[in-house]
Structure 1
Amino acid sequence: MRSILPSVGAAVVCLVASSAFANSTGVSGRSGKQSGMSCTASGCHSGGTSTPTVTLEGPTALTAGETGQYSLIITGGPGAKAGMNVATGGVDGATLTAGSGTKVLNGELTHSLPKVSSGGSARFDFSLVAPATNGTLKVYAAGNSVNGDNNQGGDAHANATLDVVITGGKDPVAPEEDGGGCSATSGAPAVLLAVFAALGARRRRQSRQG
């Protein structure tokens, strides 16, 4: 009987290789906006002995509807290639637009292919259209620096955030306060007074007639 172990071993190798390549064309949900989720927590990158520096550059104030130009710069780390993930939060309605080497995925930005580092850093440019609501928009970014060997080990990531103040739009709508369930009975005292007044007038008429 022929052993199936070689086939099983080959299948395991293929699965590991697939997981290593799974994020080569980008991934969402790793920007740092989602608590506990990161490039290393995904199980696809780990083991890098040096951590890269991740920087977000761009305007820190926009008017509603204005387009701002931003850059995510990944410096250091294993450094052969780099990937990224960018998301926004704090104020709803912002629109991220991909630049060279990036794409939109599930409303976030990620790399379309790993970018080769040049001079020890990799730069991803993108644009952001400010939402229509005033407030502080937070830009979340993760930068992954990889050694390019297509294996899970030897890679490292870091995160960065940037606050962008939005003005010139509509103010956020404050949540309605709970009235304690009394709104339906707020007119009850006036109604009761009217009833008592009518009863009193009726009694006075009856006493005069008697």
Structure 2
Amino acid sequence: MRSILSSVGAVAVCLVAGSAFANSTGITGRSGKQNGLSCTASGCHGGGSSTPTVTLEGPTALSAGQTGQYSLIITGGPGVKAGMNVAVDGATLTAGSGSKVVAGELTHSLPKGFTDGSARFDFSLVAPATNGTYKVFAAGNSVNDNKLETGDAHANATLEVVVTGGSDPAPIKEDDEGGCSAATSGAPAVLIAVFAALASRRRRQSRQG
């Protein structure tokens, strides 16, 4: 089994102003799929006094080729505006309202305002033709919208999706060398030596008889 969804991939949110203002229209590679890289780790956002809760909602099982509807929900934190980044290996992501696809990942088009304490980004995922477990990685940013990179906070979430009804993954080809084949490669020489010893013994016995 592979990880989707080994994973769906995750969306990291970078809502940036000032020197990083370009990221207010979205950024990829911050979902947590790429060696844990996040907005805070990349020097983008941080310093918020409270951390938001990020969750992924949607089906955890799909048939090959089926489209599932998912949502990334950011709750708490500074809670004025929100951004996100979602990524997954092997499956196809389709953007919903307020998001876009960039290099196969999802990110926000513009920072989305909070409503009743949370911000929601909807998207869809098309299951691949190969059976397996796919992991979706997501990151959400909750910012104070002060046009600076301070006072913001982010969190990550993952969701595994099991795909069935398609083709099985290609089996891993084992190394032809080693194992039993290597252990028995010297067998013919050993047998020849044994037969030669037996023949020599018989000749000696025949002379003595």
Which bracket does the TM-score occupy, shorter chain normalised? Answer: 0.7 to 0.9
Partner of 2:115: 118
Q: State which drifts further: 97-106 or 29-38.
A: 29-38
State the 1:22 CA deviation. 2.5
State the identity %.
75
| Structure having the higher Rg | 1
Structure 1 SS opposite 2:78: coil
| Mapping 1:75-90, distance limit 5 Å | 75-89=75-89
Partner of 1:155: 152
| Mapping 1:125-204, distance limit 5 Å | 125-180=122-177
Partner of 1:205: none
Where structure 1 has 5 or more consecutive residues not aligned to the other structure, the ranges are 1-15, 194-210
Question: What amino acid does structure 1 have at the position aligned with 2:29?
Answer: G
The CA deviation string for residues 95-115 of structure 1, in whole angstroms up to 9 with x for no partner, is 000000000011100001000
**CA spacing shift, 1:130–1:24, aligned 2, 3 Å:** same
Alignment check: 8 A CA contact 1:23 1:44 kept: no
Question: What amino acid does structure 1 have at the position aligned with 2:98?
Answer: G
Structure 1 stretches of at least 4 aligned residues deviating more than 2 Å after TM superposition: none
Partner of 1:98: 95
The CA deviation string for residues 150-209 of structure 1, in whole angstroms up to 9 with x for no partner, is 1010000000001111000010112211111879xx8xx7xxx9xxxxxxxxxxxxxxxx
Residues paired across the two proteins, number: 170
User: In 2, distance between residues paired with 1:146 and 1:174?
Assistant: 46
Is 2:32 aligned against 1:32? Answer: yes
Q: Superposition RMSD on alpha carbons, in Å?
A: 2.1
User: In 2, distance between residues paired with 1:166 and 1:109?
Assistant: 21
Question: What amino acid does structure 1 have at the position aligned with 2:139?
Answer: A
The CA deviation string for residues 48-105 of structure 1, in whole angstroms up to 9 with x for no partner, is 010000010000000000000000000000000000000113xx2x100000000001
- What TM-score, normalized by structure 1, do the two folds share? 0.76
**CA spacing shift, 1:105–1:141, aligned 2, 3 Å:** same
